[in-house]
Amino acid sequence: MRLQQIADKLGLEKLTPVFDQDIDGVYISDMISDVIANAKPGNLLVTVQVHANAVAAANLVDVCAIVLAQGKRPSDDVLRMAEKAKITVLSTPLNRWQVASKLYEVGLR
């Protein structure tokens, strides 16, 4: 499934341009070391972490996008960092469990 499709189906707010690509899976974690150790390239990362280290970890692992749950919003500097790395950042008022449930409903595993 493509990133733009997921963003549209879940009504995610786009905080950076959408660098549309195929999503190969989902990884949900708020621990940066866990993301680095276990997320896979092409994953959609769901988290509440809004600092630069979250973007750096996403870039290191080559995740396709970050979905910030619970209405979290990073600073403009962090958004610029993500955009430079071509990592889409999306936000939703849903909590992580609700995001996971909706991703499952649309067929993303």
- For the whole model, what pTM was predicted? 0.96
Q: What is the rounded distance in angstroms from the CA atom of residue 36 to the CA atom of residue 34?
A: 5
Q: The domain 3-105 belongs to what CATH superfamily?
A: HprK N-terminal domain-like (3.40.1390.20)
> Does the pLDDT value for residue 104 go beyond 90?
yes
Instruction: Extract the tokens encoding 4.
Output: 């733009």
Q: How confident is the model at residue 26 (pLDDT cuts 50, 70, 90)?
A: very high
- What pLDDT, in 10s, does the model give residues 27-75? 999 999 999 999 999 999 999 999 999 999 999 999 999 999 999 999 9
Distance CA 82, CA 65 (A): 9
Task: Return d(Cα 6, Cα 104) in angstroms, integer.
Answer: 11
* 109: pLDDT strictly greater than 90: no
Query: SS3 for 40?
Result: coil
